[in-house]
Amino acid sequence: MAAVRCAARRLGGALLQRTQAEEGRLLAPSRLMRSRHLSTKVSGEARNIQKKGDDIWAGFKETLKRVSERPPEKKPNVLLQRMMLIEQVTKSVVYGAFKLTVVYAAAAAAFGGRWLEN
């Protein structure tokens, strides 16, 4: 059969078309059929890729729309922030002074009487 197709291609395809018509195939050389089949396959894949891209873009637009509709976050008061900072610093200083006092008192109680007696 391959030899017949090869000879038909050389003769211009007339014999090939008759042979394919008898077999129930389309009346076109197999070379063209393959390229058509591949082109439809590639174009189908391209459509699928394009559809996925469109779906992603639509989701992105929906997300942007939801974010823009959200009310803006309320900015904290600058005076309130500074007062909270001052409060934290004051607590740290008082706690540090308390720790230092406790350490000195413990050291004085432990070693206080020995050096004075000498």
pLDDT tens digits for 13-71?
A: 554 455 555 556 555 555 555 555 556 666 777 788 888 888 888 888 888 888 888 77
Residue 25, domain member (yes or no)? no
Domain that holds residue 107: 73-111
What is the reported pTM?
0.33
Burial degree of 15 (CB within 10 A; 0-12, 13-18, 19+): middle
Residue 105, domain member (yes or no)? yes
| Tokens linked to 69 | 């509709």
Look at the chain and report how many structural domains it folds into. Answer: 1
Residue 80, domain member (yes or no)? yes
At CA 16, angle to CA 12 and CA 19, rounded to 5?
155
